[in-house]
Copies of this chain bind each other. A is one copy, B any other.
Amino acid sequence: MTAYADLSAHFGRIAALSNAIGILQWDNDAIMPKGAAGTRAESMALLHVMSHDMVTDIRLGDWIAGAEADSALGDWERANVREIRRIWTVATALPSDLVEASSKAVSACEMRWRQARADADFAGLLPHLSEVLRLQREIGQAKGERLGLSPYDALLNDYEPGGRSARIDALFDDLAGFLPGLTEDALAAQARRPAPLEPDGPFAVESQKQLGLKMMAVLGYDFDRGRLDISTHPFCGGADNDVRITTRYDEADFARSMMGVLHETGHAIYEQGRPQAWLNQPVSRARGMSLHESQSLLVEMQACRSREFIGFAAPHMQAAFNGTGPAWEANNLWRRGTRVAPGFIRVDADEVTYPAHIILRYRLEKALIADQMTLAELPGLWNDGMKELLGIVPPNDRLGCLQDVHWPGGGWGYFPTYTLGAMTAAQLFDAACKAVPDILPAIGRGDFTPLVGWLGTHIHSQGSRYETDELLTRATGRPLDASVFKAHLRRRYASEA
């Protein structure tokens, strides 16, 4: 066997293990009885150790070098070797006692966080969060030394391969300058329109589920290779050829679940569209978290909060809940779905104010990792940032710096991918609509095939064949910038009557 053949067989086994872990994690988050938590944690820890052992296998260094020297490899194979080296470099950068210490600190901190959030008790979380942060700094340091990156960029690199904070700073500073004025204009434009009417509930869970399934089908989700279930925190997970999404149902507000299902379906059709020929190899993986989020936001925000989509979907919503009257008219549903209202909670934020939540978190976590501020200063600096970016100050830390699981959960460097994803979504959707002018009219007819076809060709089927910048340049003619996103927000929120 050639070095490449050894390598790809080995990573095929890693994929088989990773698929097992994916389904067990889905089960854990969606349907596991709670008394199984301890037993499941032991199984997950064992499988993660096995996976780590396989990714750091002593033979890999030689195989990778051998494959890199193999001139007979094609484009895809070479890209696969590049991805394998990336994975191996990061995995071998950390001593295993650091991995274990971090994993334990995160488990303890997440557990404590649930209570601290409920009690708005930042002081109670502080010792646990300090330990998580200390270990994240160490991890960033160790990875950074291996990769020649700052600790923060090294953490970011796990979620956004090739991402650099210098570039994100520029993009986010630009947005931070633009957003307050836009928000003001959006609120003013909104004030000139009639206030949206609320459709009368309650909305039966089963009807919401059927509506969600219908919308998934419209988007081309393959039910033969996935499922829709319920969980407290909606997500897209599972395994290759088994891409499962979850939602939660609020009987007082059907639109929340419907838009959530559309969002997760965006993630899912990316996963389902990854290149089948390379499915068990790293080169088939989704390109990174900003690209992933771009696919969910492209579906949810760009496509499905358009007037075209709401025009198509309104009769389905009416039929699902026997809705009649002006609250069920497409115009009203569109106004309701594009309301702007600055608030404290990120996950409840609208498209216009969402980036401010992300910019705040990004700036704070970068300063914390760089030791430029202390955790004790976090609540105060959080509130200052909210005042500056959104003009409001949370009355307590439950509605402030305790609201998200990311930091207690060890997900440092993740936050910026949300807004990078929103910008990428705007740039991709704009390019798609220019290349295929029927995309929006077709959506108005409930036909997503032109859009999903374009995404399939330019994004989904490309896996990790190219680096993010090259992938985006090939699809849209240039790397990421903020201009299309800004123009989209201005057009939708500050210009439309």
List A residues at the B interface (Cβ < 8 Å): 12-13, 16-17, 19-20, 23-24, 27, 31-36, 38-40, 42-47, 50, 222-227, 239-242, 279-280
Q: Cβ of B24 and Cβ of A222 under 8 Å apart?
A: no
Residues of B within 8 A of A12 (CB): 42
Q: Cβ of A43 and Cβ of B17 under 8 Å apart?
A: yes
Which 8 residue pairs spanning A and B have beta carbons closest together?
Answer: A36-B242, A35-B224, A35-B225, A20-B43, A16-B46, A39-B241, A16-B42, A16-B43
Q: Cβ of A222 and Cβ of B35 under 8 Å apart?
A: yes
A242: which of B19, B20, B39, B225 is its contact (CB, 8 Å)?
B39
Residues of B within 8 A of A13 (CB): 46
A20: which of B32, B47, B279, B280 is its contact (CB, 8 Å)?
B47
Q: Cβ of B50 and Cβ of A239 under 8 Å apart?
A: no
Residues of B within 8 A of A223 (CB): 33
Q: Cβ of B31 and Cβ of A227 under 8 Å apart?
A: yes
Measured CA separation A280–B242 after assembly (Å): 30
Q: Cβ of B34 and Cβ of A224 under 8 Å apart?
A: yes
Known: A20-B46, A20-B47, A24-B24. A39 touches B240 (CB 8 A): yes
Most interface-central of A222, A241, A280 (chain B CB within 10 A):
A241
Copy number in the complex reads 2
Measured CA separation A40–B226 after assembly (Å): 13
Q: Cβ of A43 and Cβ of B224 under 8 Å apart?
A: no
Q: Cβ of B227 and Cβ of A33 under 8 Å apart?
A: yes
Across the interface, name the chain B residue whose C-beta is closest to A223.
Answer: B33
Residues of B within 8 A of A32 (CB): 242
Across the interface, name the chain B residue whose C-beta is closest to A240.
Answer: B39
A39: which of B19, B36, B46 is its contact (CB, 8 Å)?
B19
A50: which of B40, B50, B241 is its contact (CB, 8 Å)?
B50
Residues of B within 8 A of A43 (CB): 16-17, 19-20, 23, 239
Q: Cβ of A239 and Cβ of B36 under 8 Å apart?
A: yes
Given contacts A23-B24, A38-B241, 18 further A-B contacts (CB under 8 A): A16-B42, A17-B43, A17-B46, A17-B47, A19-B39, A19-B43, A20-B20, A20-B44, A23-B40, A27-B27, A31-B227, A33-B225, A36-B239, A36-B242, A39-B239, A39-B242, A39-B279, A43-B239
A105 → chain B closest CB, angstroms: 21
Measured CA separation A442–B321 after assembly (Å): 48
Measured CA separation A12–B43 after assembly (Å): 10
A387 → chain B closest CB, angstroms: 45
Measured CA separation A480–B279 after assembly (Å): 54
Measured CA separation A20–B24 after assembly (Å): 7
A246 → chain B closest CB, angstroms: 13
Measured CA separation A335–B13 after assembly (Å): 56
Measured CA separation A38–B276 after assembly (Å): 13
Q: 21 interchain pairs (CB within 8 A)?
A: A17-B43, A17-B47, A19-B42, A20-B20, A20-B24, A20-B43, A20-B46, A20-B47, A23-B24, A24-B24, A32-B242, A33-B225, A33-B227, A33-B242, A34-B224, A35-B241, A35-B242, A36-B241, A39-B240, A39-B241, A43-B239
Across the interface, name the chain B residue whose C-beta is closest to A36.
Answer: B242
Residues of B within 8 A of A224 (CB): 33-35
Measured CA separation A242–B24 after assembly (Å): 13
A261 → chain B closest CB, angstroms: 17
Residues of B within 8 A of A50 (CB): 50
Measured CA separation A47–B19 after assembly (Å): 11
Across the interface, name the chain B residue whose C-beta is closest to A21.
Answer: B20
Measured CA separation A24–B45 after assembly (Å): 16
Across the interface, name the chain B residue whose C-beta is closest to A224.
Answer: B35
Q: Cβ of B33 and Cβ of A226 under 8 Å apart?
A: yes
